[in-house]
């Protein structure tokens, strides 16, 4: 497999400050919440989470191998095979890094976490087009002993993370080849990436070159040391679905003019549906926001409420609830790696 990389440009697409937030690593850029024009996030502002520089892969020489003790035979696909041999499906799904809001999590506890210092922007939504992963596994002949499926990336980090066989066979677990109607961009996994609907972004491995089907549970760094909930006296638990949370489509802090206006935002609950969003201005009562849908599992829901603010400093709070009745708490319990922050955020707004 031939790859080339320009070490001066670890990320391919331009990270324009008007559209994206620089997380300070040179590899990671968040989506600006105040630059979300529609349900789908345009490619020029879809957040980038890399563990190594974006590899420049050549689709003419790239192949995908499905192998392991859980299949009867190894199967290898070329890029042309994927486009020509299999039916394509499209699904709209939201993707969120488990470390989203880590910097705000640190402020909540008065202590800075290690890892990427994300604000609110490690989340975005796209229409993903590709092949159901089960269609690629079937020709390899799944055995009765198969229990886990682990995609592996071709970047320098060789990112890999297993998932249960049932999740791999779900109809909305895809090998994605395109997003938002365009060929998958390099920073988002070209030639192919996995989409694991509703799970943390790290499960949706980019630049996939190998898929292992195992007959036993697999332990790798991304499900034992990283992307786990761990704390004092608690064993590491791998993260799967991310908890319910919300964001306001305003800068942090925000400055507004007085007068009637509409405040908008998004709420997301991983594998579950968002069923309610409430808001609170300063010390006022909690009131219901209007939901604009789509109200689907695995996709963020848009919400809005009217506000006629008086001049001065205000705090806007938003609380989302999922289909199981789980609402955002006032605080998120500590975990050592700063994952899955779900607290109601005190969004500062100055009206002048």
Residue 137 is given by DSSP the state H
* Tokens, residue 129: 């087009």
Residue closest to 241 by CA, chosen among 164, 187, 336:
164
How far from chain centre, in Å, is Cα 224?
A: 19
Summarised one tens digit per residue, pLDDT across range 77-132 is 999 999 999 999 999 999 999 999 999 999 999 999 999 999 999 999 999 999 99
3-state secondary structure of 80: helix
Mean pLDDT of the chain: 96
Q: Give residue 9's region: left, alpha or beta (phi > 0; psi -120 to 50).
A: beta
Strands 20-22, 29-31: pairing kind: antiparallel
Specify the pLDDT at position 3.
44
Task: Say if residue 67's pLDDT is above 70.
Answer: yes
Mean pLDDT of 232-251: 96
Q: For the whole model, what pTM was predicted?
A: 0.95
Summarised one tens digit per residue, pLDDT across range 28-55 is 999 999 999 999 999 999 999 999 999 9
Its CATH class, for the domain covering 245-351, is mainly beta
Q: How far is CA 98 from CA 41, 180, 200, 323, in A?
A: 18, 23, 5, 20
CATH superfamily of 48-238: Oxidoreductase, molybdopterin-binding domain (3.90.420.10)
Domain boundaries, the chain: 48-238, 245-351
Rounded to an integer, what distance in angstroms lies between the CA atom of residue 199 and that of residue 202?
8
Mean pLDDT of 65-79: 98
């Amino acid at each position: 497999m031939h790859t080339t990389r320009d070490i001066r440009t670890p990320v391919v697409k331009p990270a324009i400050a008007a559209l994206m937030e620089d997380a300070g690593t040179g590899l990671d850029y968040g989506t600006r919440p105040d630059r979300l024009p529609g349900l789908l996030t345009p490619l020029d502002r879809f957040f980038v989470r890399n563990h190594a520089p974006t590899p420049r892969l050549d689709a003419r020489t790239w192949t995908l191998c499905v192998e392991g003790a859980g299949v009867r035979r190894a199967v290898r696909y070329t890029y042309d095979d994927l486009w020509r041999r299999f039916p394509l499906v499209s699904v709209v799904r939201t993707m969120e890094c488990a470390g989203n809001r880590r910097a705000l999590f640190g402020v909540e506890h008065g202590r800075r976490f290690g890892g990427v210092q994300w604000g609110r922007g490690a989340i975005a939504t796209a229409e993903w087009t590709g092949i159901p992963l089960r269609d690629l596994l079937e020709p390899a002949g799944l055995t009765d002993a198969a229990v886990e499926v682990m995609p592996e990336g071709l970047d320098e980090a060789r990112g890999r993370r297993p998932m249960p066989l049932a999740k791999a066979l779900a109809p909305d677990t895809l090998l994605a080849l395109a997003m938002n109607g365009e060929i998958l961009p390099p920073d988002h996994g070209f030639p192919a990436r996995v989409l694991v609907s509703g799970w943390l972004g790290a499960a949706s491995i980019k630049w996939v070159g190998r898929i292992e089907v195992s007959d036993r549970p697999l332990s790798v760094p991304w499900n034992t040391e990283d992307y786990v909930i761990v704390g004092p006296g608690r064993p590491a638990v791998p993260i799967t679905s991310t908890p319910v949370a919300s964001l306001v489509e305003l800068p942090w802090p925000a400055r507004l003019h007085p007068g009637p206006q509409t405040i908008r935002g998004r709420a997301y609950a991983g594998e579950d549906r968002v069923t309610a969003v409430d808001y609170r201005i300063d010390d006022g009562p909690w009131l219901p926001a209007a939901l604009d849908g789509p109200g689907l599992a695995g996709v963020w829901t848009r919400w809005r409420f009217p506000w006629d603010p008086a001049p001065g400093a205000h705090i806007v709070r938003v609380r989302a609830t999922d289909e199981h009745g789980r609402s955002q708490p006032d605080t998120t319990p500590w975990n050592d790696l700063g994952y899955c922050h779900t607290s109601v955020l005190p969004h500062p707004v100055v009206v002048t």
